[in-house]
Every structure is written in C-alpha cells, then in structure tokens.
Amino acid sequence: MEPDDDLPVSRAPPPQRRGISYSQPLSRDVASARRAALRNHSLDDEHILPVSHSLNYPLHQDPTAGGPHAGYHPPLPPHQHHPSASYSSGSRRSGGGGASEGSMTLERAMSEYGGGSGTLPEFVGAGGGKGIFRVPLRAAMHPGRPPPLEVRPHPLRETQAGSFLRTLAAEPQRRQLWAGAESGIRVWALEEVFAEWGAGARRGDEESAPFREGVPAPPALCVAVDRANRLLWTGHKDGRIRSWRMDLDVAATAPAPPAAGAGDGGGSVGGSSHAGGNNNAPVFREALTWQAYGRTPVLSMVVTSYGEIWSGSEGGVIKAWPYDAIAKSLSLSPEERHMAALLVERAYIDLRNHCTVGNVCSLPASDVKHMLADHSRAKVWTVTSMTFALWDARTRELLKVFGMDGQVESAKLETPAMTEQPMEEEVNPKAKPSKKDKSQGSLNFFQKSRNALIGAADAVRRVATKGTFVEDNRRTGAVAQVMDGTIWSGCTNGAIIQWDGNGMRVQEFQHHTSSVQCIKALGERVWVGYASGTIQVMDAEGNILAGWTGHSCPVIRMAIGGSYIYTLAHHGGIRGWPLNSPGPLDDIIRTELSNRELSYTRMEKINIMVGSWNVAQGKASAESLRSWLGSVSSDVGLVVVGLQEVEMGAGFLAISAAKETVAEKPSIALSIASALSGGRMSTRKGSTDVHEFDGMFQGSYANFKVTSVIGHVFSVDFPPAYQNWEGTDPMDLFEAPVLRSECNPKAHIRRHLAQEARGCTYLILWLDCDREGENICYEVIECTGIPENEAGRRIFRARFSSVTEKDILSAMNNLVLPNKDEALSVDARQEIDLKVGVAFTRFQTRYFQGKYGNLDSRVISYGPCQTPTLGFCVQRYQQITTFKPEKFWSLKTYIIKDGDEIQLEWDRKKLFDFDVTVMFQKMVASDGTLKIADVSVKEECKTRPSGLNTVNMLKVASSALGIGPQTAMHLAERLYTQGFISYPRTESTAYPASFDFRSALAVLVHNPLWSNDVRTLLDAGFVKPRQGHDAGDHPPITPMRSATEEGLGTDAWRLYQYICQHFIGTVSPDCRYTRTAIEFTSGGETFHCVGYRVTHKGFTSIMPWLAVSENSLPAFKKGDSVSIHKVDIYEGSTTPPDYLSESELISLMEKNGIGTDASIPVHINNICERNYVQVNSGRRLVPTPLGTTLIRGYQCIDADLCLPDIRSFIEQQITLIAKGKADHLQVIQHVIQQFMKKYSYFVKKIENMDALFEAQFSPLADSGRLLSKCGKCGRYMKYISTQPMRLYCITCEDVYYLPQNGSIKLYKEIICPLDGFELLLFSMVGPDAKSFPLCPFCYTNPPFEGIDKLFGALKIDDTGKVGKGAGMPCSLCPHPTCKQSMITQGVCACPECSGTLILDPVSAPKWRLYCNMCNCIVLLPHAAHRITTTDKKCLTCESTIIEVDFNKKTTPLQDGATLHEGCILCDDLLHSLIEMKHGKSFFMRRGCLKPLHPPTEDGRLKIRFEFKEMSRVQPKLTL
C-alpha cells in the first residue's frame, strides 16, 4: 500500500513507483547507448528527443538487451502514469491535479516532447504481465483483506530468472528486512519502504522499495538472525554458511561493479543506497564464511541459547558449530582472517555420530528441513518431513525422537558416517586423491546410499505401524514457538499440531485444506501462511481470529518487524500486514482510498494506430508517418510500428508462445476454439480436428491449437502372457502386472497428441471436470511428453460446467492445476475391477459353460459393482416369489351432502378378520348417523424442488419418460457437448451463491412452452432454490441455451424439456393450498374425509405432474350429525411388490454407494447385456434364470460377493484417494488381498453353486442337436445354438467353440486332412456378409504354432479369451494341399490390409473374393457358371490363376466359348468384369494399380488395373 496525498496518517506524498510494462521514451543519450549494443534502425538520428528531456527521468535497466552496455529504457513521462495531469518540458507536477485538454494526439505529443522541427517521440513496449499497458499499481483496496504495505509488488516471472526470493527474516531492533535469493542476499531498511528508487533499478524491481544487495552468492536456502553478534547467518546451496553484518556501512567495503547503461554509468548492481540516487552505491559482503558440507546444501539453521550454530542437511546430517570457534574467528584481525574459516570448519561436532552408540542411531536418515531453538528451556528441535528430534542445547544430548503421532521412534542400526574434509578440497582442488581418499569417498557414497535406504525403510515401518492406509500428505511444512511455550507444527494437508516443550502432543486442529507453508508468532497472535495464498490469524489456543487471501500463490515465508508482519510469496512479492489487522484502522484506510479511487484510476482516451513499417519504405520520420497515416493523423495519439528484422536495420522480434489446448470430445474442442477465437480460426484434419488461431495468453501473443481426444486414451489390461484362458490360473491374475495400452489404436490419438504438442510451450486441459476427466488429463500429459512436474508452469487445467462462451472465457481466466489424486483414484478402481472381475469371470465361465448347454450367455461375468446391482433385482424377485397373499376386509361408509355422495375413510384402514369386520359394520349401521367430531382447516405448502443432479435426472428419465439410464446419459452428454445444458455428471443439488439465475432464465424466455412462466419470474422476481446438497463438484444440471424439438430429436427434446421445466420450478414459489379435514364418529368408530383447494400454484404451473389434486368438500360444522347412506364391507388381498424399476434400482445403488453418478447407468446396462435381467414394460427389471441362479449361488458360498457392503467400502477408499488421504497402491494391495481370499474360498465351495445350476439348466449331453462327426471317436457331436455357440461330443466330453453371431451348417461332409473332423460352414448375417468353412478342432486348437499372432485372431470380448469365438478357420490355414486352405483358395493380397483375398466357394451364382482379415469384398463375374482356383501362377504378378466357366447364353467370349483362365490383375477380360466394395487405397506393393472406370450408380467402383512394375511377391489388389 502507498499512502495517498490527503490521508492524515501519511507524510509528504512519495513519488509514484513505475511499472516495467509502460511504454518508455527514448532520449538522445540512451539512443547512443543502444546503438553501441544494437544495430541501427531506420529512425533518423536527428528526430530523437533532446538531452534535456532525458535528465528528468531516471534510467531503467533492461537485462534482456545483453552485453555489458545493454540499453536502458527510461520510464514513461509522468502523464502516462496519471493521464489527467499535464506537463511541460523539464518539469513535473503532482499526480493529483489538472485535467488534460482532450486526447493526446500526435501533434500534441510532438509539441510537448519533440523539442525541434519534425522530431517524434519513440516508445518501446517492455511487454509481459497481462498486457503491454496496464493501470498504475495504486488501485482500489481489496474488500476482503487489510490494506497491505507493498514492499515488493509481484514481479514478472521472466524478470526473476536466477533471482527468485526464497527466505525471509527481520531484525526488529535495527528495523531491517532480509531476504535470501537465488543470487545472494538483499536487505530493506524498514524506514524507507515508502520510498522510490532514486536511480536505475534492476528490471523486475522498479516498483520495489529500495534495497541493498550483498555480493553475488549461491542460492540462500535458510537464514538465522544472531542479535548478539549483530549478524545474519545464511545457509547456501553450495554447502557453505555465510554471515552478514547488520551494520551495512561497515560491511560495504567493496564498490559496486559498473552496471550496464548509457555510457559508463547506469544503475548499481544491487540497487541504490538508502538515500537513493547514487549510481555507485556500494554492495556489502559477508563477514565470515566456511564450507559446512562437502556436497550437500545447508537446509536449515538455528542459533541456540548458548550461541552455537546448528545446521541440518540431507541424509539427516546435523552439525553443531561451537560458539568459541565462531567468536574467535570473528575476533581475528584482517591479517589473520584467512585462518577463520579453517578454524570453524575443524571445530564442528557431528551430532548424528555423537548420538550413535554401538552402530545404533535413533535419528532417521531424512533431510533436516526445519530447526527451532526453544530458548526458554534451552532445547533445540530438529524436524524432518515425518519425525521430530528434541535435543539439549547445552549438552547436545538427544532427548527424544518421535513421529507426527507423538509415538517415540525406535533406534536402528547404522554405520557411522565418515568425517568430511572440505578444506583439503579447497586448498588443492586439482590434487589427485590417494587410494585411501578414494576408499573413503566410496564409503561416503555407499553410506549416503545406505542412509537413503534406511530412510525408505523408516517410511515403510511407519506405514506398517500406523495402519494400512496412511496419509502420505501429512508431512511437516513449518514449525514455530508460541508465547505460551508450545510448539506449533504445520502439515502439508493443512493440519496444525500443538506440542508442549517436552515433545508431548497436546492437540491437533485444522482450519484450511491447503498445505501449511510457514508459521510466525508474536504475543498472543499466531500467523499461518498456506500454499493457497491464504493468511490466517489465530490465538494461542488455535482459535481462528481472521483470514484473508494475501497472495495469488503460496505464502512461503514470514517475518515480523516494525509493527508489520511481512509475507513472502512464491512469485517473489513481499507484502507487509499491520500486526493489529484486521482492525478499525483498516476500515478507515480502505474508506479513504475508495473515496479517492477516481484520482488514480481515471484513464484518458488515446487513439492507437498499429501498423508495420518496412525499412525499404524509408526512414520513419514525422513527415513520412503523416503521409502514411493520411487524414487520421490528427486523431491518433500513439503510433505502434513494428520494424522488420533485416540485416541493415534494428527491429524487434516478437516471440509467440505456442499453446495447445486439449478437450475430451471433438464437439467440445470446437466450442472452446470458437469461444476463445471469437469464431476466427482455421481447422485442419487429423486423428481429431485441430483448430488454430492467434490470441493472448499470460500477457503474451500466442498461437493456439485446440484438439481433442475420444474418451480415455489408455485402457488397462493384462500382458499377453496372461491372455490365454486355458494356460493361466485365474488366481495368478490377482498378482499379475497391469499394462496400459491405447484404447483405440486405429484412431492414433497418442501419436496425434505427440505430434501436435511439438513446439508447444503450454498445455491447457479442457477435460470433463470429474475423476474420469482428471485421469484423462494425465493420459494426455503422458502422450504430449511434457513432464508432470511442469504443472502450474506449463500445464494448466480449465474447470468449467458448461460449454457456453461465458463459462469458457471464465475458465480460461481462472486456470488451475490438474488433480493427481483424483486421477490415481480412477487408476485404482480400474485395476481392482480388472483383476477381480476377470479372475472370477474366467473361472465361472470355464466351469459352467463346459457343463451346461442352455445358459444363453457368452460369458458368465462377475463385477464388484455389477453383481451387487444384480443382487438388488434378485432380492426383489425373491420377495415376489416367496410372497403369500392374505385376505383383508375394510368398511366403506357413504354419506350424501348437498346432493353429492361422499365416501369416508375408516381410521382402522383394514382388518384381517372377517367376523370382527362384520361386527363393526353392525355397530355403525345400528347407529345410523355420523356425528362431526372435528373440522380442521390448515394452510399448507408443497415445497419447490432443489437443483437437478445426475441420479434424479436418470430416475425421472426412466420412470416418467421411459428412457433407460444408459440412453438418458448419452442424450444428456450430447446436449452438454452441443451447449444446451450444463455438465450432466454432478452430485450437487445446491447452486453456488454466485450463480446467475437471471441470465439462465433469460435464455429460456423465447420458448413458447414456458415463455409466460419465465417472463412472470423475471418481472415479478424469482426465488432462490432450496438449499440442497453441495458435493463440491459442479452446479446442478441447468439449461444453457434455447432449443427446439426439430433441432434435437424426440428423445433428446423430451429430456431437455424436463431439465428446463425442473430448473424453472426450482426458482418458482412454493405451491400453497388449503387442507380441510373432517372427522366423523359413529358406533364408536372414527371416519374422516379430506379436501384440498389450491390457493397459489407456484412451481406446479410449470411442473403439472407434481400439482396438488383439488377436492372440494361441502360445508360441515362441528357438532352436526349426518345420516349414513350405506355401510359396505370391502374385501381385498395383499399383493406382492412389483419388480424393481430402473428408478428404484438407481436409488438403491446411490444409497448403498454402488458406482458413481456416471457409472450407475453402465452397471445397469451390463446386467441387461449379460442376460442376467430383462427390461419389461414400465422399465422394470426381471431377473433371468441365469441371474437368479448366480445370486443364489453367491449367497450359498459367500454372501459378501453379492452384497453392496464390500463395494461401498471400496468406493470409500477410492474417495479417500481422490481427496489425497490414502495411498492408491496400498488401497489396491489391501482390496486385492481381500478378494484373493474370497476367490480361494469360492473355488473350494463351487460345488454348492453347481448344485443350483444343475437344478436349473440342462447338461450339455441333453442340449442341442446332432450336426457333425467327431474326428476322435467318429460319433456325432451336438450343436448348441445358445450363446456361446459350440459343439459338444458326448463320448469324448469335449467342447469345441465356434464363431459367434452367425449361422452354422455342415459343409459337404468334407473331412479335415489334419484331424478327421467334418468341416462346417459359418455364414455371417447381412447381404454382403462373408462365409467361410472351418474345422471345429482346428478352430478351437490352431494346429500351427503362432497362428493367432500371425493372422490376428479376433476376441469375443475385452477379457481376451483365445479359443472362444476366435481361432483358425480354413481361410487362415496354411496347409499346402488341403482344397479349402488359404494356400489353394487364396488369389492375391488384400488392398486394405495384410490379409489375402480368398475365393468364396459357396457364393454362386454371385461369385466373389473376400479378405480373410477385413471386410473387403471383390465381386467376380456374375454370369459365370463356375469359378475355381488353379495351381498355376501368373508370370507377371504371381497371383493365382482362376478358371471361369461362363454361362453359354451370357458368355463374353468369342465363338460362344465358355471356359477361360486368367489373372484378375493382368487379364483384360477379367479386369472389365471385376467390381469391388469398401476399396480405399490406390497403391499396391511394388507396383501401381489405377482405376480406369468411374463408380457405378450403386456406389461400386468398376475398375481396371495396370501393373506398372514387376514383382516377385504376392500382388496386392489396390484401389
């Protein structure tokens, strides 16, 4: 904060600090300096500002110019800081007064700054930030935090290379603020934090308060204030400890090196002196320095109660530097100073070796990152990530080692570390080490390696002792001591642990979920800084007093001095906060600044002309620019000219950062690109479309590339060694490794992303904002090759709830980081489901399909979510089948009032005893009258619904719209990708407080179905929805755009219509009605009737299906009597519940934690596709015999397998992973171990389930029909047509699986020459489907080694079972003599794949060739009577010669001949008669085949081929 001129608490107004991003005028002196370093540009030297103008504006250093005499850019003239002020040459006014006279035009600029005829001021934009031009730093105060003191405003990242600040310390007595940087140390005088630089400042520090800088040094990692010696101790990355005198005048013994600038002058390296304005300000250097560690950095330091310095490093090494040695070194004369470092280095005490007795040490071999001196108890705390060590500061005795849970750590065996000898290395760095030294160095290396292993062992041990699921994010990030003597430690999960002085855990509390980065205490207040940028103030008891967002990035350090607490942000910015904030003074300052906001935020209108200037056009003089601008020159106030970079001229090269944006679906990518580019983009084809356009990103020009994936890029599966069902024990799958392979290799998404990411600097992920979307984020990151640790620097995540332009732009301006924990939770679920599901599925399928024939299921699957879902359906089915109806009776009493008959309800409802009911009937009938006992009239309301989440949408879609959950989810996703609704996968029913309901209603006002309701709400005012459940994911499902039924389709429109009506209902008033209840008595029995009258429809006008049914009653008066018209006895029977509906099943799954809002429809669809349930009328799920038997079998063996408890537990653990509270590897290991035990028990007790199957299904011997002979026993085998189709030999008891989804018949009783089995003919479904013969034995058991790999055998499902529906038909058989094999029936290579075109022997009279690998078909002459292959080969292309026997009436041959032999590639006659379907390629191996005929009317391509080159390989027919 900088005080305003008129504030009573401020002194004289300080000059305004300048931002580096302003345009800056170029003076004559500066121009001469620029010409010394850069090539001359085309501006005339005579048209530069005179010297007098440059004297008023101090120089700014530009480190990007390079060279020892790099150019300086003076700041903008004062009117650019305060556009309302006017200035004259050589003078400057106060920033508060004076209004400008109109716009700043080109003519006015020349008159004020030109200084001569035709001169023109030149401005060079520094760039960076959020734009080339920005408003001054002094703007309105943030309403949610105290006014801060801006010691060092947020510098641009590109200016901080090699100079980031990482530590912070304050010395209150001398009012100094010290900061450790990557390039050394710097210090601010707190009295001058309101001052400005009197001379040039380093780029990035122009807006900082003046500071002094030490001599260049390696990065400072830790600092410790030594008030007794008036020193600041710093630990550095090179392993050295340095001290700096707080008396800077004494320390400044070396002049500042000359800085780059105009001529020989310029600013100082370290900044100005305290007084400012002196370009030769001295820098200060260290007082004492020594090598503390040989090859490791100094991570932490502390000054103990006895003046010793303790330091910590990697591997748990702690050294104590005695006070005597330090004091003696500091007292040495300058002539003896060379002995100081050696004196201290040799005096150190290795505390790790000091506490190691008998090779046993209690200290962990982990990095010592924090130290704390407890001066009240003369103790020292040393802290690693997971442990604490408590020492006696006087005796250096290790008192206690304990973990974060307070448990004392046990000692462990350790080899003492070798003594380091850094001094010898310094004295003679080039001397060759002796053999002894080498051995010691090797021992040190192995010792460090061993320390790392011991540290890992410690972590494993802690995991084993603390439980199965340990929160690995509970690492110590900060430690501090409070006034009452307690020690506070902050954890990376946001928790704060309070300890007493003896290391006993007092309490733990948590006020924030972000990581604790720093803690500072003074008096009764404690300040805590978090990684989110939040600062919280607490009392000594841990109660939160206040909190605010201090920075836009993590607060990494704090220091207290001069009535302020200073916070250092990760970006290098430093702010000071009053120690009494928040308080009354903050409100006063904020109010005063708000009242004066206009004085420093008012902007002046300036017309900017932007163009390019080629040096070939001449010099950019005033006359030439006037001629170039033409008539608009009088209106232009600023001219931006881009000079071409050529050999003869000096220009400026703008480097654009290429940026790639990846969305999950192509339609979303198009919406994102359209919104970000404003519709101005180019699109090119790829695996998915790529949209390109230019724009701004992080203040720089960038080229955007927006592309997409198609769902998941990778899927999990087992390695090939575990794919064979027959050769792999399912038990081995639980411990088998898991591979990630590309989901759709043909789409080449991985290659596409890798290619598009080349040359891209940034990656922005626009995936769905759920756990699956986070998982795909990291799949995309892996494909692009950008390291994951670049998240936040090069990788960003966009979070959005709809694909409207408003939400897309908002997400682009608020980018976040991808969530690794949520991605790992999806990995864990995928691996658990794969291993558990495949193991049980393989065992069940192999066991039961080999015994029973009418299962009617290709695979008998098990799933941790699927099976409990089926269990709900079977449970309702069992309730129905075991239900026993029971008769009941009730009284129906009628009265007549005002001519209307009214039926009264009996309070007893119903009785199950007929005689008792008759008795009550007689009692009422004998009374004959009803006395009105009570008349109750109440005003009641039916509350409006809360927001719509996914589960409620699916339930309504199934019960009211008749749309299944899977279909409804697909429709909702399509509506979302088209921008009609918000994100459809959400668990929340509560809208955020900032939701814009008026804008959401405005988009619906033009639809005639609800336009009147919407207009009423907009005019009369709408109500906010009821407070629902906030899951923290996405807002409820909301319409975002208006749509019509013609544009969406019937089902999508019905779903969209309901979403719109539901949203309108949530913001409509409640429905109000009057409820009238009349109570009657007669014969000791009570009856009643109820009437309803609606007073205000409210939300039911838009949702009529929820309306209250009106029922008017006549007027009754209490105490009156009414005659009974009649009393009847109604007889009924209890009925069983109906089958479970999809809506009810969704409710049960949500209640029991089965699946997520996105996966619930998938699980329901799975049990339907597996033939476990069937969907009947009303969307009710009826279990099949197979589904019922499976669940009953699980209940007989292990009921947990079909109960929701296990899956609910798994989902809870998955949620813990997503929240970062559990390790995903440990969760996987624990769950897999549990299911391994259950699987082992299930296998042992499978006979219990088999008994149920035997009672329900028929054995294979009793199933199917006789079809073909077995090659082993010669008996006929039975063909079982139910899924999966197979043959069963009753004698051999062997099962032979066949291709699926087609028909099977005997093929001419031909015998296979390999095994004696009769061949079968398989025919696919469809007019163009192919047919091929096969041998049952060869198909199930391929006789040739590697046949499935050579010919890419198909798989029946994702489980990869080889031999079931996949194998070797005759078209793949390489037998050399069999008449049905590929060798004899093959003609030539396929044009579309690596397969072979085979003659279809049963395709007559429509003869054709088909590919044995793909769906390519070549139609042969239809007029042929017979077509066969021969044993001859074409001499030109080596294709098989075919023999064609034409029909006599339609033969194309001369003289009526019918027999013709030829090659389909080389024979002209056959060429003219060939037609092909599905042809795509126009190239052939080693040759070229060209089509000579256009396509026919039916879309077929009639072709003629010319073979260009001789080939010795099998020719490939190519289009």
Q: Residue 1510: how many CB atoms within 10 A of its CB?
A: 11
> Would you say 715 and 741 are in contact if contact means Cβ atoms under 8 Å apart?
yes
| CA dist., res. 506 & res. 541, Å (int) | 11
> What tokens appear for 1195 in the block?
């209940």
| CA dist., res. 1242 & res. 1244, Å (int) | 5
Residues 6+ apart with CB under 8 A from 809: 675, 676
The C-alpha angle 485, 491, 496, rounded to 5 degrees, equals: 45
Q: Residue 45: how many CB atoms within 10 A of its CB?
A: 11
CA-nearest of 101, 121, 1, 103 to 49 is 121
| CA dist., res. 384 & res. 369, Å (int) | 6
Active site residues: 983
What's CA 911's distance to the chain center, in Å? Answer: 60
**Token pair 């997971």: residue:** 386
| CA dist., res. 683 & res. 1031, Å (int) | 38
Tell me the three state secondary structure of residue 473: coil
Query: DSSP characters for 1264-1317?
Result: SEEEEE-TTT-PEEEEE-SSSPEEEETTTTEEEE--SSEEEEEEEEEEPTTT-P
Burial class (CB in 10 A: 0-12, 13-18, 19+), 1182: middle
Amino acid, single-letter form, for residue 1298: L
CA-nearest of 229, 260, 258 to 245 is 229
| CA dist., res. 497 & res. 509, Å (int) | 7
> What tokens appear for 651 in the block?
């220009």
Tell me the three state secondary structure of residue 904: strand
CA distances (Å), origin 204, targets 20, 81, 130, 270, 783: 7, 18, 15, 13, 36
CA dihedral of 985, 990, 996, 998, whole degrees rounded to 10: 100
How does strand 1294-1297 pair with strand 795-797? unpaired
Element (H, E) at 438: helix 435-466
Residues in the chain: 1519
| CA dist., res. 50 & res. 115, Å (int) | 6
Tell me the three state secondary structure of residue 91: coil
Sheet with 379-383, edge to edge strand ranges: 370-374, 379-383, 387-392, 398-403
For residue 358, the 8-state DSSP code is: T
Amino acid, single-letter form, for residue 410: S
> Would you say 301 and 311 are in contact if contact means Cβ atoms under 8 Å apart?
yes
| CA dist., res. 525 & res. 504, Å (int) | 22
| CA dist., res. 884 & res. 905, Å (int) | 26
| CA dist., res. 1171 & res. 848, Å (int) | 15
| CA dist., res. 262 & res. 26, Å (int) | 12
Element (H, E) at 1091: strand 1085-1096
CA-nearest of 851, 670, 872, 857 to 1246 is 851
| CA dist., res. 29 & res. 72, Å (int) | 10
CA dihedral of 348, 351, 357, 358, whole degrees rounded to 10: -70
